[in-house]
Structure 1
Amino acid sequence: MKTTISQVPKYEGQAVTIGAWLSNKRSSGKIAFLQLRDGTGFMQAVVAKNDVAEDIFQLAKNMTQESSMYITGNIVEDKRSPFGYEMQVSDIKLIQEAVDYPITPKEHGTEFLMDHRHLWLRSKRQHSVMKIRNEIIRATYQFFNENGYVKIDPPILTGASAEGTTELFHTQYFDEEAYLSQSGQLYLEAAAMALGKVFSFGPTFRAEKSKTRRHLIEFWMIEPEMAFMDHDESLEVQEQYVSFVVQSVLMNCKLELDTLERDTSKLEKIKAPFPRISYDDAVEMLKEKGFDDVEWGVDFGAPHETAIAESFDKPVFITNYPAEIKAFYMKPDPERSDVVLCADLIAPEGYGEIIGGSQRIDDLELMKQRYEEHDLTGPAYKWYLELRQYGSVPHSGFGLGLERTVAWLSGVEHVRETIPFPRLLNRLYP
């Protein structure tokens, strides 16, 4: 019976064959312990000299790291193992012997590991992070599909920017200028006017020369947009969505979280509703915490977000930012024209902003005014203005950064470990 490591619990007491790689091994006299991986998981295989032919035992003792094989044996329960099962080997067929695999069990520097990212992905730690990433994606589709959202794929090449063109990648689109998308939001607003509730999940690009542990040049975003929904209703969707994803990871990634030594007691507290504070209150809170340089009207950086998050054990919404530091499309607060109906969701434990969202301007004349203030005179924005001209309605949306969310839930320090092949300021390889 050919199977995978993840399916092994179904075959306790039976002989199976698995296609696997050797991630590590140790041997002592008449027994060899092989640490196997097959992409679905990790498992120990025990090769006893008295139970196999001599050539099989010698193969097991001499096999090199990352050699590939078909390995056959009986599945038995092993309560000492995190996985809970091991294989008692009866046969091994070598597929390819790996020679001088560069990533050994010893410690390696970050740059070395990043240069060998195509191989580093095979490690147990990176495997766990990628499985958590996959679960977040799976849970995202489940949440929005079950709540009546339609998946929309906005273009990656655009003729306009959602938030200004200074941090966009420019490219030539035949005889006109184009940009790599920094957000699908504008197009999703058009889709929401057609389909009600929509969401996208795709790559975005920011030509931002940042080297922090929270920034990537290319990253993935989940962006829902909802017609006939105001700002407060959108906040409820956001906290319900994040709560659903966190609980899904806790339920379906127990082994991976354990491998990463993640303190899951902190994640177990992540259930809606989330606390909310205004930008005004956040400024006062920061001043009380010793940030004397923070004045009303400045945007918050990573140290500010971390300091605010320390006061809460759940993600916290910071609402109603000054209009002058937010995007042109955000709707002003009806009671205060100097702030807009928006919120950033700040994750606990120093992981920073994971969601940015707002209610969008739905008034045609106000949007025309914003166009003038932001010099949006080109034809590339004409269609976006027309959304307010033909059947405009109140609508809201938000964007969640996948990699920051993966970092938070898996407990890794840097977002470079949360995407298979990170694109950083000075890294385009591999």
Structure 2
Amino acid sequence: MAIFTTIEEISKYDGQEILLRGWLYNKRSSGKIHFLQIRDGSGFLQGVVVKNQVEEEVFKVCKELTQESSIEVIGIVQKDDRAKSGFELLVKDVKPLTIAEEGYPISLKEHGTDFLMDHRHLWMRTPKQNAILRIRDEINLAIRLFFHERGFILVEPPIITPSSCEGTTELFEIDYFGENAYLSQTGQLYAEAAAMAFGKVYSFGPTFRAEKSKTRKHLNEFWMVEPEMAFVDFEGNLKIQEEMIEYIVQKVLQNKQYELKVLDRDITKLESIKAPFARISYTDAVEMLKKADFEFEWGDDFGAPHETYIAEQFDKPVFITHFPTKMKAFYMQPDPNNSEVVLGADLIAPEGYGEIIGGSERIHDLDLILKKIQEENLPQELYEWYLDLRRYGSVPHSGFGLGLERTVAWICGIEHIRQTIPFARTLNRVYP
């Protein structure tokens, strides 16, 4: 009896007869041999069907198979160093489960990006897209393991909120039973509340930004992990961030070598990602840009060219710290030595991938947070619950937010963030 397994586990069965269930990704023939490219969701494998080694009906079935037909395949696993998986299958029997219709939209030729995004439900079946999303899954798991191993509690903040958490207007407004409500930009404020109950928490879920941006680094719906930690200061916050990034990258290197190979990723650039990371103040970064002939003034926000240039001066991610207070959200703690800047930092990824983390120490003083809310003309009544966190047992605390999709794009080495999420939501795309 053939042993049922998956392509991902095939190395365990060298020389043995196995059963696979999957789909025909592609095939080619040379008269007396069919070469079947089989995928089963866990990987891709070549099956070789030799005419004089199988029943006549089996060889005929293989000839009639169409792209993406679902099949059961029995064969002998053989080591093959030429294959990316390291193995191929000497096929003995093929049983069609369903024969796919002719004219599969994503034929094995060049297609435009808009066409591929219109067929995202099918595009993710291809090797590179499949590898990206499998690496996303590994990063997702690594994040959860990192925090679980360190005693953090997962909390789920609401997606529907009564106000902006960051005081911006880039919100998706909804009618909530006759009242105005918004899709959440961040779970941070709610995570802060949970941190005062549990000490160390993180939220991990979808967030929404109504930015009318078309850049390769922006989505209107994306996932963020947002830890919040009681009794952790600015320095402690940076330390946990760099430890997390090292942990994530090393987990991908450990468990997703095949997928990185499919993507032709230069893993030497990932192997060097070890804590600690360099730090540069916003003020020093401005001077660096000016010396490089960028037109940039203190108080300006960094764009992609600025972040890329700064990142190129380092071989690992780099923290940019102590941003101008006026640039950042109302809840960030001012530097006690210089109230013009905050105890906040962005972590910039190498290779032009830009900011992947933003974080800060939070204001824990009631009077100061009240002043900030008033200065930004925020409706205080909607933040009363948040102010209660300062009224009842306030402590110094810190947190940050990591964008999952930007992190996936960097680790995979792919150009556009829209490929890092199963179904992207961008300025002009809400289908499929």
Q: What do residues 241-276 of structure 1 show as CA deviations (whole Å, max 9, x unaligned)?
A: 001001111111101011100111111111000000
Q: Distance in 2 between matches of 1:14 and 1:315?
A: 46
Counterpart-to-counterpart distance in 1, 2:420 and 2:45: 23
- 8 A contact 2:167–2:378 mirrored in 1: no
Corresponding position of 2:320: 318
Alpha-carbon distance in structure 2 between the residues aligned to 1:289 and 1:64: 57
Structure 1 match to 2:246: 243
1:73 equivalent to 2:72? Answer: no
Deviation at 1:374, TM superposition (A): 1.2
**Counterpart of 1:232?**
235
Greater CA drift, 3-12 or 183-192 = 3-12
Matches within 5 A, 1:250-289: 250-289=253-292
Work out whether 1:179 is the aligned partner of 2:182: yes
SS in 2 for 1:290: coil
Q: Which of residues 407, 410, 422 is equivalent to 2:409? A: 407
Tell me which of 371, 374, 388 is aligned to 1:372.
Answer: 374
Cα deviation, residue 378, structure 1? 4.1
The amino acid of 1:257's aligned partner reads L
Aligned counterparts, 1:19-418, within 5 A = 19-98=21-100, 99-292=102-295, 294-418=296-420
Identity of aligned residues (%): 62
Counterpart-to-counterpart distance in 2, 1:367 and 1:344: 22
CA distance in 2, matches of 1:143, 1:346: 20
- 2:390 is paired with a residue whose SS is coil
Using the alignment, how far apart are the partners of 1:252 and 1:236 within structure 2?
Answer: 25
* CA distance in structure 2 between the partners assigned to 1:268 and 1:12 by the alignment: 30
Partner of 1:9: 11
**What per-residue deviation string (whole Å, max 9, x for no partner) do you get for residues 267-321 of structure 1?**
11110000000000000001111112x1001111111101110101100000000
Distance 1:283 1:78 in 2: 54
Identify which range, 6-15 or 354-363, moves more after superposition.
6-15
State the alpha-carbon separation in 1 of the partners of residues 216 and 82 from structure 2: 36
Do the aligned residues in 1 keep the contact of 2:34 with 2:62 (CA within 8 Å)?
yes
Equivalent position amino acid for 2:236 in 1: E
Distance 2:65 2:57 in 1: 12
Which amino acid is 2:97 matched to? Answer: I
Aligned partners of 1:378 and 1:274: how far apart in 2?
38
Q: By how many angstroms is 1:161 displaced? A: 1.4
Q: Structure 2 regions of 5+ residues with no counterpart?
A: none
**1:167 CA displacement:** 0.3
Q: Output the CA distance in 1 between the equivalents of 2:329 and 2:248.
A: 28
Inter-partner Cα distance in structure 1 for 2:12 and 2:271:
29
Residues 207 and 223 of structure 2 are in contact (CA less than 8 Å); yes or no, is this contact kept in structure 1?
yes
C-alpha distance after superposition, 1:73-132 (max 9, x if no partner):
111211221101111111111111112101111100001101100000000000000011
How far is 1:11 from its partner? 1.8
SS of corresponding position for 1:201: strand
* Runs of 4+ more than 4 Å apart: none
Matched to 1:84, the amino acid is G
Query: How far apart are the structure 1 equivalents of 2:179 and 2:392?
Result: 28
Task: Give 1:376 shift.
Answer: 2.1
Q: Which moved more, 1:321-330 or 1:10-19?
A: 10-19
Query: Structure 1: which 5+ runs fail to align?
Result: none
TM-score, normalised to structure 2, is 0.98
SS in 2 for 1:388: helix
Q: Distance in 1 between matches of 2:294 and 2:357?
A: 24
SS in 2 for 1:102: coil
In the alignment, the residues of structure 1 paired with residue 163 and residue 203 of structure 2 have an alpha-carbon distance, to the nearest angstrom, of: 18
Instruction: For 1:17 and 1:205, locate their aligned partners in 2 and report how far apart those are by CA, in whole Å.
Output: 44
Corresponding letter in the other structure for 1:262? R
> How much does 1:60 deviate?
1.3
Give SS of 1:387's match.
Answer: helix
Structure 2 distance, partners of 1:90, 1:269, is: 45
Aligned residue type for 1:425: L
- CA–CA distance in 2 between the matches of 1:64 and 1:377? 61
Q: How many equivalent residue pairs?
A: 429
AA aligned to 1:186 is L
C-alpha separation in 2, matches of 1:374 and 1:165:
10
Q: Indicate the SS of the match to 1:412.
A: coil
Query: Which whole-Å deviations, capped at 9, do the CAs of 1:217-243 have from their partners, x for residues lacking one?
Result: 000001000000000100000000001
Q: Distance in 2 between matches of 1:260 and 1:371?
A: 47
1:274 partner amino acid = F
